[in-house]
Chain A
Amino acid sequence: MRGKLIAVIGDENTCTGFLLAGTGEAKRGHSNFFVVDQDTPKNAIEEAFNKFTNDPNISILVINQNIANEIRYLLDSFTNTMPAIVEIPSKSHPYDPSKDSVLQRTQKLFNADDFK
């Protein structure tokens, strides 16, 4: 069975690391990674997110959480099962579980009344 790919939206350091590990695919101008730097416009990040989440060959989308925060509204409204979105820390921005869209949905589920 031919497996699917892992896409990456991240800073240069993150993308390089994952390409070094072997997640990258690039051919004929198409690739499964998108490098974000300080000059990358928000609409380009949105476009990359939409492109990867609409690609049936991608199983997991890895994204730096600080970049995810810029398009949080897109992640919050993305409720499909596939691809699975995994937010990861960057070199200078540690992972904050309170901002993770998936964990936020779980947190909102439980309130004090549930434990009465």
Chain B
Amino acid sequence: MSNLKTTSFFKDSDFLSKNEAGSISENDKKLDELIWRCMDIAEELMRRRSVLDEVLGEGRMFLARASYSNAAASTGDCLLYAPTLDPLVRVIERRTDSKIEFDTQWLSVSSNSNSKSSSNENGCIELDNLSTVADPIKAFGSMAPTSLRSSQAFFHRAVDEIANIASLTLELDQLTNTYRSAKSLHDSNIRKTEEEEQKTKTLAEDSNCNEDLSEHEQ
């Protein structure tokens, strides 16, 4: 399990105390920028989610059609219980200064013309001795129903959308953590400033009282 270090969108030193150049209002501005960025990402995330819902719905619909047209065998069994499967898609993690992005890398499929194949009792094709990655749809034979191919295309798109959503979710999570720590530091600075002002005010009042007393004694 990898624990990636979260890189702050802003550094702690960006959040200045009131006595330094910039003042509390600069910190407020930066916190606002963080909030706006979070909202932008959340909006994009919801848009991507809507697209994912749509492609998953279409993919499932075509899968159901394929199941109806292939009444004898369960559409899932050929893949779910395959002894070996090689992935057609891999995820590349791209790390920049402040975030991690996921990209999908799709491998080319074999033509399957030189591979040996045999049919099992469920009517599924078992592919042996493949030197390149086989298209999973080949497990349903060379004449796989069109609806199965359509379903595959939609789930293919779903995989790409999921990678985008994962990137956005990760970025949102990181920004959330950055905002939380920045806000905490900012609030701490404000409290310190207020305490100092209170102390200064109290000292000034005490000083005035002492002056009044000494004048009165005179």
Contact = CB atoms under 8 A, between A and B. Distances in A.
Contact of A80 (B3, B38, B155, B183): B3
B131 to A, nearest CB: 15
B92 interface: yes
Interface in B103-153: 105-107, 133, 135-137, 148, 151-152
A109 B20 CA distance: 28
Contacts of B91: 3-6, 59-60
A89 B159 contact: no
Interface stretch (B8-16, B74-82, B195-203, B205-213): B74-82
Given A24-B85, A60-B166, A81-B170, A95 B49 contact: yes
A54 B1 contact: yes
Nearest to A100: B169
Tier of interface size on chain A: 35 or more
Contacts of A95: 49, 53
A13 B100 contact: no
Contacts of A22: 87-89, 106-107, 133, 135-136, 156, 159
A104 B12 CA distance: 25
Contacts of A91: 60
A96 B107 CA distance: 33
B4 interface: yes
A110 interface: yes
Contacts of A27: 84-85
Contacts of A13: 60, 63, 76
Interface string B155-177: 11011001101110110111010
Nearest to B175: A106
A59 B95 CA distance: 13
A24 B4 CA distance: 25
A17 B155 contact: yes
Given A25-B87, A84-B102, A89-B53, A19 B1 contact: no
B105 A105 contact: no
B144 to A, nearest CB: 10
Interface string A24-35: 111100011101
A25 B92 CA distance: 16
Interface of A: 1-6, 12-13, 15-27, 31-33, 35, 53-56, 59-60, 62, 80-82, 84, 86, 88-89, 91, 94-95, 97, 102-103, 105-106, 109-110, 114
5 contacts: A5-B91, A23-B159, A26-B82, A55-B1, A114-B183
